Chains A and B, each alone.
Chain A
Amino acid sequence: MKTPNPNFVNGVPELLLLQLLSDREMYGYELVKAIQERTSGLLAFGEGCVYPILHALEQDGAVKSQRREMVGRTRNYYRLTGRGKRRLVALSADWDRAVRGVSLVLGGQHA
């Protein structure tokens, strides 16, 4: 029996953050700017909302944070862990399946 995936929609911000952190470690503001840049500003959201998601990922052991000084400013840098990498793979697969499913419903126009 296939298990339902409650993160079908809710897991999207997680997926984006994990994907960006798979490239390199970043702090919150940097992550938000990277999302805006890579999505050409298509995703609009209150920027503060990335922190609760990052903290939840940190509680799950998917990311680790470290306070570090860079160019005169101290910030919390987040980096992906081994568990985070596995989660990214799982979430990516879920997302890919969801996109393909939705595309099929829409008549393959968006595949």
Chain B
Amino acid sequence: MPKECRVEAFRTELRRRGLPRRYAGRAAQELAEHWEDLRQEAELTGVSSEEAELFANDTLGNWDQLAAAFHAAHFKGSLPVRYSFMFFFFGPLLLFTVLCVSLFAFGAMAGYLAGWWGSGSSLNARDWAMLGVGVRAGHAGTVIITQAAFCWLAWRYRLGLRGATYSAVGLSMYSMIHQVTYRTPSMGNRGALLWTFGLGDDLWSGIALFVSLAALSWLISKRLSKATHRRLGLGMRGLMSDGSET
């Protein structure tokens, strides 16, 4: 195979393994330059160009094994791989909190500008009920988005089920210590949106909600992981957590 085709195939292989385009390009470029140095070194000894290319190919090493080594090295140094428990257990809690606060702050601001709050509110009872549904849906959606994001990261860094499970457990445990309560306003009652920490009355429904959502995401993650392993032609266990292949 000509050098250019081999280098391009190598670059494509790195991309298939989920490495960033820029890194794949750099790795391919460095190997191509090394290959060229080896070829020139061989030619200086007076061998033919075909023999020099053969020498360069043999000396550089097996390209498939090199792709696996680049893949392992790239992910080994990354934060999610090096500190996988910390990243996948506490990361979702941070993202979930930030998303929730942002969502509710945005809603509060939008409602203020639209004149929904206060005594002169333009909302009727039905609107308030719809708003309550929206708050709950937003809360549940935030959980789904958070877990989906970390499932994707687990797949991206080839941590698969391990990362997704940490994330699912973290979110489930989080559900035990926080509650979001929404009370629809009525006559003489302004209504309220409460976000509290600590063990509350609604503990079990909170747990059920989070665990079921996390389990659903866990299954999605499992499917993603299997599809990737099939695509890369790896075995059942696929890539180990440290990036090496089984």
Report which A residues bind B (CB closer than 8 A). Answer: 28-29, 32, 45-49, 51-53, 55-56, 59-60, 73, 75-76
With contacts A29-B34, A48-B66, A75-B33 taken as known, whether A53 is within 8 angstroms of B73 at the C-beta atoms is yes
The answer to whether B61 touches A48 (Cβ under 8 A) is yes
Q: A48-B63, A51-B27 are in contact. List 11 more A-B contacts (CB 8 A).
A: A28-B30, A28-B34, A29-B34, A47-B60, A48-B31, A48-B34, A51-B34, A52-B66, A52-B70, A76-B26, A76-B30
Provided the pairs A46-B61, A46-B66, A47-B60 are in contact, do residues A29 and B37 lie with their beta carbons within 8 angstroms?
Answer: yes
Contacts of B66 in A (CB 8 A): 46, 48-49, 51-52
A-B contact count (CB 8 A): 62
Is A56 within 8 A of B73, CB to CB? yes
In the complex, what residues of B have CB within 8 A of residue A46's CB? Answer: 59-62, 65-66
Does the CB pair B61–A52 fall under 8 Å? no
- For A44, the closest partner residue in chain B by CB is B59
- Name A's interface SS: helix
Complex Cα–Cα for A28 and B59 (A): 13
Which residues of chain A are within 8 angstroms of B76 by Cβ–Cβ distance?
56, 59
In the complex, A42 Cα to B184 Cα: how many Å? 79
- Once the chains are docked, how many angstroms separate the CA of A51 from the CA of B27? 8
Size class of B's contact patch?
20 to 34
Q: At the interface, is chain B mostly helix, strand, loop or mixed?
A: helix
Contacts A46-B66, A47-B38 given: A55-B73 contact, CB under 8 Å?
A: yes
B77 touches A49 (CB 8 A): no
**B72 on interface, CB distance cutoff 8 Å:** yes
CB of B74 closer than 8 Å to a CB of A: yes
Q: Cβ of B130 < 8 Å from any Cβ of A?
A: no
Contact B61 A47 (CB under 8 A): yes
Q: Which 7 A-B pairs have the closest CB atoms?
A: A46-B61, A59-B77, A52-B73, A56-B73, A52-B69, A29-B37, A48-B61
Interface CB pairs A-B, < 8 A, 10: A29-B37, A47-B60, A48-B34, A48-B69, A51-B27, A51-B31, A52-B73, A55-B70, A55-B74, A59-B76
User: Chain B residues near A51 (CB, 8 Å)?
Assistant: 27, 30-31, 34, 66, 70
Once the chains are docked, how many angstroms separate the CA of A75 from the CA of B33? 8
Q: Please determine whether A29 and B74 come into contact, CB atoms closer than 8 angstroms.
A: no
Bitwise interface map of B from 96 to 116 toward A, beta carbon under 8 Å scored 1, else 0: 000000000000000000000
Q: Given A46-B62, A47-B61, A51-B27, check contact A73 B33 (CB 8 Å).
A: yes
Query: In the complex, A47 Cα to B37 Cα: how many Å?
Result: 11
For residue A9, give the distance in angstroms from its CB to the closest CB of chain B: 14
Q: How far is the CB of B71 from chain A (nearest CB, A)?
A: 8
Question: In angstroms, how far is the closest chain B Cβ from the Cβ of A11?
Answer: 13
A73 to B32, CA, bound (A): 12
Q: Mark B74-101, 1 if CB is under 8 A from A, else 0.
A: 1011100000000000000000000000
